[in-house]
Structure 1
């Protein structure tokens, strides 16, 4: 099992909670956004020698990553809004794409889509270069599952139902074949399990529903390897919610945990 965590930290110095979350969930790879002011040395000291921060040639910008030292993780490409990593476990090789797209308050959907187009082109180029299609995209998309940024054939081209991508991995807009991603989030959103979303701030957005801004996408070859996806609501005994919404003193986003089975499909 490969456990991947993403957390938008809201620039809060919550090093103890971060370390506790990693240990409690046996996280293999953790991706952060809005991590300014976080003392990663403090986190690493608490975790011991089991984890290492993966640094690039340039300074980290919108996203950064910690990984178990048992994994081989290298930075393939770094842009302002995303990083592409090559991850090798004892079982498989992956392309892990960490993203933090333009926020909804200051940018339009068209601006996020332009970034996504560049990102998808870089993903396709890297998949061909490394001959690896085990691609995982995780992060803060600043878009919901049914938004154009996720669904459009000219953006992520992500389908929400496994049967669709199982039937056909490619779409054909204007005679150009484009590979799809699979977005598993709808399978896990439920009132029964109180799995609503990752972000809720009624005062600002004036909406009575949760946003699913933090998501994970995978290529077809990994669609059946997703074992579980969850927005975490507590760390040990500490509740991450206050009055039924994320406690902004910790973060205004809930962490996203993805469990990926490593046996079976994948090349």
Structure 2
């Protein structure tokens, strides 16, 4: 079965809410999800999900994150709270994964952060290419 869970998780990709078996069990590495499919913890199998968020982050392509905060003495500035996680059947078919900075003529960034008059988060766009990954 192919599944996608997309939303504002209020957690970074590497936090326990995302990676622990009792929650999403989302690995950051698609090869792990595809090859292993699940992991056994305390005698119970937990199916893997794949979270490609970190793979697609890059300042070079303006894909820095979905939420901006400069508060506190230590900050990441851009956070990846909005994410999409995929079952192993879809893990190698993610062709595009980006946080939209503009929709049509509407700029979603004001200064350096999301335009709070529109939303405090940037929307996530994901494109699945069904022809990708057929070599497995």
Whose Rg is larger? 1
Could you say if the C-alpha distance between residues 249 and 225 of structure 1 is closer, same or farther in structure 2, counting changes exceeding 3 Å?
A: same
**Match in the other structure for 1:243:** 111
- The correspondence for 2:55, drawn from 164, 187, 201, is 187
Structure 1 Cα separation of the partners of residues 77 and 15 of structure 2: 15
Structure 1 Cα separation of the partners of residues 65 and 126 of structure 2: 14
Structure 1 Cα separation of the partners of residues 24 and 107 of structure 2: 33
SS, match of residue 33 in structure 2: helix
Deviation of the 1:175 alpha carbon = 1.6
Q: Work out whether residues 230 and 257 of structure 1, in 8 Å CA contact, stay in contact via their aligned partners in 2.
A: yes
Q: Does 1:165 align with 2:33?
A: yes
Structure 1 Cα separation of the partners of residues 72 and 122 of structure 2: 17
Deviation of the 1:194 alpha carbon = 1.8
Structure 2 residues not aligned, in runs of 5+: none
Q: Work out whether residues 56 and 98 of structure 2, in 8 Å CA contact, stay in contact via their aligned partners in 1.
A: yes
Deviation of the 1:185 alpha carbon = 0.7
- The correspondence for 1:217, drawn from 79, 85, 89, is 85
**Match in the other structure for 1:32:** none
Structure 1 residues not aligned, in runs of 5+: 1-132
Q: Does 1:178 align with 2:46?
A: yes
Q: Work out whether residues 34 and 89 of structure 2, in 8 Å CA contact, stay in contact via their aligned partners in 1.
A: no
Deviation of the 1:157 alpha carbon = 0.4
**Match in the other structure for 1:139:** 7
Q: Work out whether residues 145 and 151 of structure 1, in 8 Å CA contact, stay in contact via their aligned partners in 2.
A: yes
**Match in the other structure for 1:259:** 127
| Higher RCO (Cα < 8 Å, 6 or more apart) | 2
Per-residue CA distance 1:119-150 (angstroms, 9 max, x = gap): xxxxxxxxxxxxxx111100111111011000
Q: How many residues align?
A: 134
Structure 1 Cα separation of the partners of residues 74 and 133 of structure 2: 43
Deviation of the 1:239 alpha carbon = 1.6
Deviation of the 1:204 alpha carbon = 7.7
- Structure number with the higher helix fraction is 1
Q: How does 1:3-22 map to 2 (within 5 A)?
A: none
SS, match of residue 89 in structure 2: helix
Cα RMSD (Å) of the superposition?
Answer: 2.0
Structure 2 Cα separation of the partners of residues 134 and 226 of structure 1: 12
Q: Work out whether residues 185 and 215 of structure 1, in 8 Å CA contact, stay in contact via their aligned partners in 2.
A: yes
Could you say if the C-alpha distance between residues 218 and 256 of structure 1 is closer, same or farther in structure 2, counting changes exceeding 3 Å?
A: same
**Match in the other structure for 2:68:** 200
